[in-house]
Structure 1
Amino acid sequence: MSQFPASILIVLHDFSLGGTERVATRLAAVWAAKGVHVTVFAGSNDGPLRVLAGDDVEVVIADPPIPRSRGSRARLARAARAFVAARRFDGVFVPGNYHWPVAAALSGRGIPVVAQVSAALDKPQRGRVQQWAFELRMRRLLRKVEAVVALSDVARDQANRILRRAVATTIALPALGDDVAPPTPVPGTQPAVVLAAGRLVPEKGFAQLIEAFAMLPAAMARLVIVGDGPEADTLRRQSEALGIADRVELAGYVADIRPSLDTARVFVLASDFEGYPAVVVEALAAGRPVVATDCTPATRLLEAPGAGMVVPLGDSAALARAIAAMLDRAPPDPVKLAALVAHHRIGDVADAYLDLFAEVRA
């Protein structure tokens, strides 16, 4: 890597359990291990993910702290700007759509800013007026950043169109550790385990998944949903009303989904929309095929033979048919599925970011 960046600043609101925060803290640890001085400036110390950054990353908390609240992102952006005025960094990493106000505050000040796109840029659910407003806001917040990182070529092209300049590049989501365990054989236990995971909120589609699961023969499978959230009681009542409560398990939050994947026959993503969900990558890395709604560019991974199936949004019957079809097929080769996502290992991804920082500095 030419012009190796000596220091990188990452700005986070806090260390909450989110995909953006997980990616940022894990990248921070890897960059620090490669000899970069990494500083995380956070609005508050809330959340459990600070530990992922390790001991070699400098963590600075805003004084006074800025907990999440109405207007807190604007306050975080102002605090970050004041912090940068007193320090010198070779580059700033702004992770995810949520933190874009920080990119607006720090770009154009002589320090290269790399902003990441983490969530879907074009959601049919927004409607034309809301989509227009979203794009206008995105152009305003990212108009001066040196680079935008998208997690797929689809999102890259969308970002370049919205921003009206060729500023975006694709770098894979670092969903896997370099020491990720090899895939295990698909279990042949009956009934088979159909696994889903995510925060229990309406847009994740768990209600539709339970509706689809009720269409399957009782002896075919049982459904395990890993995650927690405000919809938990509603989903339990739905399972009871459909007469399948004995076949649906709401397992709650787990720190590591891999043990659950090892027991599963197939993984299901039933969301209404997603950016680039790490869980699809993790499922394939574990050697498990995926049934997904057409909610994310990550479904392109499922075009490989045996990798899975994609169904239309909002079609419970199609979702049920796809799950049944995957369960009726012979299990795919887990090693071949894992090979599809090898480029998501964090070491190579961290190097790609450092190369990008070197490029924008030049």
Structure 2
Amino acid sequence: MRSPPSILVVLHDFALGGTERVAVRLATAMAGQGAAVTIFAGAGSGPLRAMVGPDVEVVVADPPIPRTRGSRRKLARAARAFVDRRRFDGVFVPGNFHWPVAAALGGSGIPVVAQVSAALDKPQRGRVRQWAFETRMRHLLRRADAVVALSDIARDQANRILRRPVASVIALPALDDDLAPPLAVPDSHPPIVLAAGRLVPEKGFARLVEAFADLPPAAARLVIVGDGPQAGGLQWLIEELGITDRVTLAGYVPDIRPWLDSARLLVLASDFEGFPAVLVEALAAGRPVVATDCTPATRLLVDGAGIVVPLNDSVALSQAIANIFAQPAPDPALLAASVAHHRIGAVAGAYLDLFDRLRR
């Protein structure tokens, strides 16, 4: 029987972000399965701090390390000093953003597991920038004991870039174990199109608003859930297009499930993504999706559950939304079943199994 391990999770802070959210959820779930979990954070600020479970210890760097230029290197040095004082059975480094921590902790005698959260091969980079990215990735993860990817494609890309078979696949822990079964698709008029995420340019919300403006006025309502620096610009665009009566900026919400329950479909309009948790959440709620071809994971998730459209094509985005409306609503239970392996309990168990193998 596996003895309870002590696991360290290193985070810059508790800001709203997919990487941070996954790390906090995973830490809480591993602690719930008996592990002694500590989060070492550069700063204790951020709304996700409230999501940390009561069994997880939180240690904040002293002095705190706010996000600034070069702060990830400072976080890496502080994390190395911390593990030199306290021993752990394993360290989890969540997402590409925190890879400098893996470089600092590699060789400390503690198994380091680094996660790949964002796309490894982006056409937008071009050949030179892609080469620079891969060179940096090899440097930062050269001493990682294991790399966790979220799909087979990302695993194969990671092994190719790192030039060693170090990566394996563990599903994104996007769903709670006690997640309610999906509700029937509502027969509301007009139907609600939902989008969710941080309001930043790369999420494509401006393009979505422009695409939505091309739909007939009575076709649907658009609700965008999230907050971020682009909120003011999006509000201006909505007013400029004359669709303020059809579009709602709902702001940040801790749980998008109630919004999904009232929606007809979810749209992801991003320029690039790693493995979009919002698509998993939408399918778990039994809602079809329209998504841009922003990551290989999109086609993996959307297969039979919606429509994938090209990047930078608002016309295709608008047409795909209309096509979903023209089709009968899919069986919500079948969509939910397709992502059941993303439940947090099974994923946390898979991580603990990986740490156990590395310990031995």
Summarize the alignment of residues 211-226 of structure 1 with structure 2, pairs less than 5 Å apart.
211-226=210-225
Instruction: With the length of structure 2 as denominator, give the TM-score of the two structures.
Output: 0.97
CA distance in structure 2 between the aligned counterparts of 1:144 and 1:38, rounded to whole angstroms: 22
Structure 1 residue 272: Cα displacement? 0.3
Structure-1 separation of matches of 2:14 and 2:240 = 38
Write the deviation string for residues 259-317 of structure 1: whole angstroms up to 9, x where unpaired.
11111001000000000111100000111000000012332344543x10101111111
C-alpha deviation, 1:112, in angstroms:
0.5
Question: Is the CA contact (8 Å cut-off) linking 1:31 and 1:350 kept in structure 2?
Answer: yes
Shift of 1:5: 4.9
In the alignment, is the contact (CA less than 8 A) between 1:5 and 1:90 conserved in 2?
no
Q: Distance in 2 between matches of 1:172 and 1:345?
A: 9
Q: Give 3-state SS (helix, strand or coil) of 1:182's partner.
A: coil
SS in 1 for 2:23: helix
1:96-122 deviations in whole A, cap 9, x for unaligned?
Answer: 111111100001121100000111111
Closer, same or farther: CA 303–207 of 1 in aligned 2, 3 Å: closer
- Output the amino acid matched with 1:228: D
Taking the aligned partners of 1:42 and 1:242, their CA distance within structure 2 comes to 43
Q: Does 1:34 align with 2:33?
A: yes
Task: Please state whether the residue corresponding to 1:324 is helix, strand or coil.
Answer: helix
**Runs of 5+ unmatched residues, structure 1:** none
Equivalent position of 2:204 in the other structure: 205
Matched residue, 1:167:
166
Contact 2:299 2:308 in 1 (8 A): no
State how 1:126-145 maps to structure 2 within 5 Å.
126-145=125-144
Answer yes or no: is the 8 Å Cα contact 2:289–2:302 preserved in 1.
no
What is the CA–CA distance in structure 1 between the aligned matches of 2:239 and 2:15, rounded to whole Å? 32
3-state DSSP class of the match of 1:11? strand
The correspondence of residues 293-312 of structure 1 with structure 2, limited to 5 A, is 293-305=292-304, 307-312=305-310
TM-score where L is the length of structure 1: 0.97
- How many aligned residue pairs are there? 360
Q: How far is 1:145 from its partner?
A: 0.6
Contact 1:267–1:291 (CA under 8 A) maintained in structure 2: yes
Find the counterpart in structure 1 of residue 346 from structure 2.
348
Distance 1:317 1:43 in 2: 43
Q: 1:167 to 1:259 in 2, by over 3 A?
A: same
Cα RMSD over matched residues?
1.3
User: Residue in 2 aligned with 1:333?
Assistant: 331
1:1-362 map, 5 Å: 3-305=2-304, 307-362=305-360
2: CA distance, partners of 1:227 / 1:86: 39
2:106 and 2:251 mapped to 1: Cα distance? 40
Q: Which amino acid aligns with 1:56?
A: D
